[in-house]
Chain A
């Protein structure tokens, strides 16, 4: 398993990158719809509005790609190792939110990300 660690990291990176793009598409679409959800009916209506947007389907496709790579990774490694490495999506999603969704990240948030990265390295070595 150890000699495949970089291959696994690479595969999980592909998984997380497609997941990040998918989340970006979803969140920006939800922002555009600007719908106040306070019931199951309204939640389902939001889902209905979303599935009518073509780029949301690109997001679904990327989620599918992400799932396929993820399934392959899971067939080769421990669930605990795979899931811990998967936390690189926290960095990807926060960076993407700052760059593309103009969400603001302060010092504490970046410190938190450093903690997450350190945690990932520990998990990879361990």
Chain B
């Protein structure tokens, strides 16, 4: 076995930068989706109207470009560590996304929702720790 499956500092940096790009992409997608806000979508064919409203948005394409970059870094990460390790550790978005939506999109986040976000993060940390301990004996 030439491939080590333990999380290294380098992989952590990769995961955090992937998450930052992910946050940026999410921000772009929300901005692009805002242009379709006033459409009422009742039928399947209304989806085409939705696409027509979203496609000209520069934010959509900026978001898609980020997704392309994310794919390259994500594939690199997955070649190093397990899927059930990589996904939970990529939890930085749970701090970054609410902060971004709070600051730039002026969305209100209730105390209970913050509490939930903290719980999700705790769970995610537990999952990652269990994965690391499991990798050590091997």
Contact = CB atoms under 8 A, between A and B. Distances in A.
Interface residues of A, number: 59
Contacts of A125: 112, 116
A54 interface: no
Contacts of A83: 26, 93-94, 97-98, 101
Determine the main DSSP class of B at the interface with A.
Answer: helix
Interface residues of B, number: 65
Nearest to A104: B134
B113 A24 contact: no
Interface string A92-126: 01100110010111111101111111111111111
Contact of A108 (B39, B107, B109, B133): B133
Interface of A: 23-24, 26-27, 30, 33-37, 43-44, 46-47, 50, 67-68, 70-72, 74-75, 78-81, 83-84, 87, 89-90, 93-94, 97-98, 101, 103-109, 111-126
